[in-house]
Structure 1
């Protein structure tokens, strides 16, 4: 078997783990979302009161729509539901391509808001369990902050205080309590979900929408996962992000909002090829948890609210300016 000389192998290894410059691979804007993603019509894995519809149904009903510079997807806001019938129509899309080392720049003008909502943007593998999950954006019921979470075990969407499968493979991955991030660590056990709360940045729901949205950015390498957030009005948004330049340099972006270093385990061994998953569920295991829902100041019960008050979901939609995929440069 041919073996690389030690010096050359070392150079290649250092280059692969320390890359900070990335080139634009995909510029997904407007109708390109329809080509880049598949609309899933599965039963909701988190037991939400939703009915995921296909692309044709979503476009015909208006819960998905495109313009030259926008892709919108969300929940139905017109129909009163039969309690014994299907849930409220909503959209769940997953990318056709998979990624490992990557920078994702997610330009959002608006994210879903309102009682019972549980929006998420995450990466995970569509086809195989126990391949990890990165929750870039996730929260429920108008909470004012995003919760960024890394799961190194588990193959289903799970929220930070529950593990849903006895067959999960436990990685033993943890992250240091003190690390270079602007967010606040909630949990450092990545099997259960190591989470970071972005408490001071209008990072979720109505507060995010009030400032005109902004950019969520994830960098995944073999040594760490980082997430940044910049609001649209922030004068310090990196120019390569704001102006969608063909190259980005993460070394110039400053401290990330959430940072998960590969200090205690082979993180790359638990995070394989990931698809990008974007969905809006309603109620479910987290948003619909009785204590969580009640503490949010929301009316009635979660299920009753979804069934009987369609107008309250008028703001339950994503409006994407773009999703840009950058890959490491040689």
Structure 2
């Protein structure tokens, strides 16, 4: 017979084990492959941010113009590469999609074969409730501009939030530890940004390698983002194979970015329910600002207006987007 103290220790150990398993093991909730994107996402037609040169299209218009294409295990989102624009045009046509569902604790696996590349492009995958800006927080899973490596992962918060400088168990390099932002992505605050350590995680190098997998895990205690390039033999089989369950606790590879909740950044007040958003912006407050420094010709607006063929490679090709709860 167990003593009272040993029974208590056994019970506590069981509770701790159960808590850990619950936090680390997730079951497939939504499997977006090919035409699944058409029913599980909405096509947004939001306005340009300052300096932007894009016109987001409806789903029906995107399908008819072949800016969206879905068949088999292929889902394409691309920028128009045929029209020469005048100053009176709203912008070059592009696609921005938002998940119908919102998420808090979850894992999302993005299996991507190709991302938009080229001068003037600003491809991004992010999570936010864009009906309220960053009032409910924002997590940029991956984004970059103008073919200028590396890509970045960033946390934006509405309230005071600072990340620790050291001890975050991440492969990437922190380039900002003040996450607080008062308005939107265009307010000039770069947030808590982490640069990827892998050239294969962004732009032409990513595409030449056949893409790879981005994974986000969000819990009440941390937000973590991983990347594995196509052909990387360290990618977990559950990630590459689209398994029905994922156990992040079994992964030996540290994330490229890790944002912990703490006394200096309380996630319960800074992060609420988020949609998943995927888009390709043209110019705007980041791609436009970094345009010349990226070695791109002329001005961003003029380039986007006058060079439609330059955007032939400005497209996303998703093999899958899997959400686990």
TM-score, normalised with respect to structure 2: 0.89
- Structure-2 change in CA distance of 1:240 and 1:14 (3 Å): closer
- The separation in 1 between residues aligned to 2:119 and 2:102, in whole angstroms, is 32
Q: Which has the larger radius of gyration?
A: 2
Hey, what does 2:177 align to over in structure 1?
188
1:200 Cα offset (Å): 3.0
Match of 2:305 in 1: 307
- Helix, strand or coil: the match of 1:298? coil
Displacement after TM superposition at 1:47 (Å): 4.1
Task: Quote the residue 1:222 is aligned against.
Answer: 220
**1:131 maps to 2:130:** no
- For residues 314 and 242 of structure 2, the distance between their equivalents in structure 1, rounded to whole angstroms, comes to 27
Q: Supply the distance in 1 between the matched residues of 2:242 and 2:196 (Cα, whole angstroms).
A: 24
Distance of aligned partners of 1:221 and 1:320 in 2 relative to their CA distance in 1, 3 Å threshold: same
Alignment-derived partner of residue 51 in structure 1: 55
Q: 1:17 to 1:285 in 2, by over 3 A?
A: farther
> Residue 288 of structure 1 corresponds to which residue in structure 2?
288
Give 2:113's aligned residue. Answer: 109
The 10-residue stretch of structure 1 (10-19 or 174-183) with the greater mean CA deviation from structure 2: 10-19
Q: Taking structure 1 as reference, are residues 94 and 12 closer, same or farther at Cα in structure 2, changes over 3 Å only? A: farther
- 1:300 Cα deviation (Å)? 1.2
Alignment of 1:102-181 (within 5 A): 102-129=106-133, 130-153=135-158, 170-181=159-170
Indicate the residue corresponding to 2:257 in structure 1. 258
Whether the 8 Å CA contact 1:173–1:267 is kept in 2: the answer is no
Count of aligned pairs: 302
**CA separation in 2, counterparts of 1:307 and 1:52?**
15
Q: More displaced, 174-183 or 243-252?
A: 174-183
Partner Cα separation in structure 2 for residue 147 and residue 114 of structure 1: 17
Measured after TM superposition, the shift of residue 18 of structure 1 is 6.3
Secondary structure class of the residue paired with 2:148 = coil
| 1:271–1:249 Cα change, 3 Å | same
Task: Tell me, yes or no, if the aligned pair for 1:177 and 1:188 is still in contact at 8 Å.
Answer: no
Counterpart in 1 of 2:64? 60
**In 2, Cα distance between the equivalents of 1:273 and 1:17?**
22
Q: CA RMSD in A?
A: 1.9
Partner Cα separation in structure 2 for residue 16 and residue 255 of structure 1: 17
Unaligned runs of 5+ in 2: 1-10, 181-188
Any stretches of 5+ residues in structure 1 without a counterpart?
1-6, 154-169
**1:319 to 2:323 alignment:** no
Q: TM-score, normalised by structure 1?
A: 0.87
- Alpha-carbon separation, structure 1, partners of 2:250 and 2:227: 14
Kept after mapping to 1: 8 A contact 2:67/2:80: yes
State the match for 1:73 in structure 2.
77
Structure 1 residue corresponding to 2:209, chosen from 202, 208, 211 = 211
Matched with 1:157 is: none
